[in-house]
Amino acid sequence: MRNKLMPRFWLFFATLLLSFNAFSFESGVSGTVTYRELPPEAIATLQMIRQGGPYPYEKDGSVFGNYEKVLPQRKRGYYREFTVKTPRARNRGARRLITGGEPRTTAEIYYTADHYRTFRRVIE
């Protein structure tokens, strides 16, 4: 009986490990995106940031906490988040631009299309 249980245990254990990896989320800055590769809505948001607003969403310009520690570590208040409109979305959607430094500066910009799960550095 013991001999039959060991292979089943290892099969169960391997299945459990594989399923955990299938549902784990990779996060972090995963490369770059050029200004021209951004969706048109992101380009419009960048223009609003440079003009200092007005912004269509109340939370635009608020501090991005970087609680997941995905972006490089900076002092609290360094990062600001801005909504990138998602066509046909009834809410703010998942797309954001995160800027670093002064609120109107766009020297350090990150784009996320999946609500902070992954980021790409915007290269202008």
Domain extents in the chain: 27-123
Spatial distance between the Cα atoms of 80 and 63, rounded to a whole number of angstroms: 5
**What tokens were used for 102?**
């002064």
- DSSP secondary structure string for all residues of 34-89: EGGGS-HHHHHHHHHHHHT---SSTTTTEEP--TT--SPP--TTSEEEEE---TT-
Counting Cβ atoms within 10 Å, is residue 29 exposed (0-12), middle (13-18) or buried (19+)?
middle
Please give the single-letter amino acid code of residue 19.
S
How far is it, in rounded angstroms, from Cα 67 to Cα 70?
8
Kindly report the pTM of this predicted structure. Answer: 0.75
Average pLDDT, the chain: 83
Q: Across residues 57-65, what is the average pLDDT? A: 95
pLDDT for the residue numbered 105:
74
Residue 45 has pLDDT above 80, yes or no: yes
- Domain 27-123 sits in CATH at 3.10.450.30
The yes-or-no verdict on residue 74 having pLDDT over 90 is yes
The catalytic residue positions are 81, 115
From 62, 81, 61, 83, select the one nearest 71 (Cα to Cα): 81
Q: Helix, strand or coil for residue 19?
A: helix
Phi, psi of 23 (to 5 degrees): -105, 0
Whether residue 80 is predicted with pLDDT greater than 60 in this model: the reply is yes
